[in-house]
Structure formats: C-alpha cells, structure tokens
C-alpha cells in the first residue's frame, strides 16, 4: 500500500481498492460480524490501553456522523474549512463501555440508514464538489469513501486482534 494509517483519509480510501463504496454502505456483512460478538467479549481489549470492541463500534459511529456532516456541508457548496477531531478525546468522554453492545450496534445502524439516505440524495455534480477537513481537500465522494474505508480498517483490526481471542 502507498499510504499508512497515519496518512488518514488517503489510507482509508486506498483500503477500498476496487470495492464499490456505495455497496459497502448498504452491506450488512460488517454489522452481522459485530452482532456475533457477545456482550462479554465486546468489553475485551487485546492489550492495555487499547479500545474495547464496544469503544470501536462507538468510534465508527461517531466518525461516520462527523464525516457525513462534512460531506453534507461540502455537498451544499460550503467552502468553510472544517477542523479535525481528536478520536481519543471522543472515546474517553463517551459512555460506550457502559452501554449494551446491542444498543451501540443499533446506533450504528441508525447512523448508517441516515448516511444511506443522504448518499441517495446526492447528484453526480454534488459528489464532485470539494471541501477541506483537517489537512485534506477532498471531493464529497472521497469523504464518503474515506468514511467506509475507516470502517473497513476497524473491522479488519477486530478480525485480526480481537476475534482470535474468542475462537478456540
């Protein structure tokens, strides 16, 4: 890969490869994987200082909210540069570990439904409009690709670093 996780948006976009981002937004595969994690296992951390699966689910949801908000602003030709956000501050100030994993998944599903409704409302011209968030200027479509690529990244981390602890 050309990019690493520290590159942010370009890394997440690159993760998509030739996958259709709009098909990924409507796919239930990742949600089904998350639903297969028990309440007990959802609190697991594979190392000290790492997020629990519950925190990852909440983070994916928060990130999608933020990214689709950015895409909304830019799809309306708003040229205001938008700041980044500190993901650790968001997770540290959440209640993700206190909530049932089923509620966190429901929240993610609700945000995903809203994202899909928004995506369906966009014209080809709106998808090509640009905006700046953090240090990147991207098209609306690229913001959406980075959003679903971000989810793919975290699902892969769950598969590689969390699920092996539960499979015997």
Q: Residues with Cβ < 8 Å from 136, sequence gap 6 or more?
A: 8, 9, 10
Contact 158, 42 (CB under 8 A): no
On average, the pLDDT of the chain sits at 96
The 10 Å CB-count burial string (b at 16+, else e) for 49-73 is eebbbbbbbbbbbbbbebbbebbbb
What pLDDT was estimated at residue 167? 76
Q: What does residue 37 show for φ and ψ, rounded to 5 degrees?
A: -85, 125
140 neighbors 126 (Cβ within 8 angstroms)? yes
Q: What is the pLDDT of residues 33-51, one digit of tens each?
A: 999 999 999 999 999 999 9
Q: Is the pLDDT of residue 152 over 70?
A: yes
Q: What is the domain-level CATH number for residue 70?
A: 1.20.120.450
The residue range of the domain holding 151 is 5-43+52-165
Tell me the per-residue pLDDT of 68-116, one tens digit each, with 9 for 90 and over.
Answer: 999 999 999 999 999 999 999 999 999 999 999 999 999 999 999 999 9
| pLDDT tens figures, 118-138 | 999 999 999 999 999 999 999
The count of structural domains within the chain is 1
């Amino acid at each position: 890969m050309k990019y690493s996780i520290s590159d942010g948006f370009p890394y997440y976009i690159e993760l998509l490869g030739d996958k259709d981002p709009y098909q990924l937004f409507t796919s239930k595969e990742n949600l089904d994987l998350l639903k297969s994690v028990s309440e007990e296992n959802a609190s697991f951390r594979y190392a000290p200082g790492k997020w629990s699966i519950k925190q990852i689910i909440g983070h994916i949801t928060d990130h999608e909210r933020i990214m689709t908000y950015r895409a909304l602003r830019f799809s309306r030709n708003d040229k205001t540069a938008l700041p980044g956000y500190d993901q650790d501050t968001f997770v540290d100030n959440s209640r993700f570990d206190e909530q049932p994993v089923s509620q966190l998944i429901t929240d993610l599903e609700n945000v995903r439904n809203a994202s899909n409704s928004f995506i369906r409302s966009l014209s080809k011209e709106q998808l090509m409009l640009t905006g700046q968030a953090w240090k990147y200027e991207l098209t609306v479509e690229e913001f959406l690709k980075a959003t679903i690529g971000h989810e793919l990244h975290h699902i892969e981390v769950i598969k590689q670093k969390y699920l092996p602890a539960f499979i015997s």
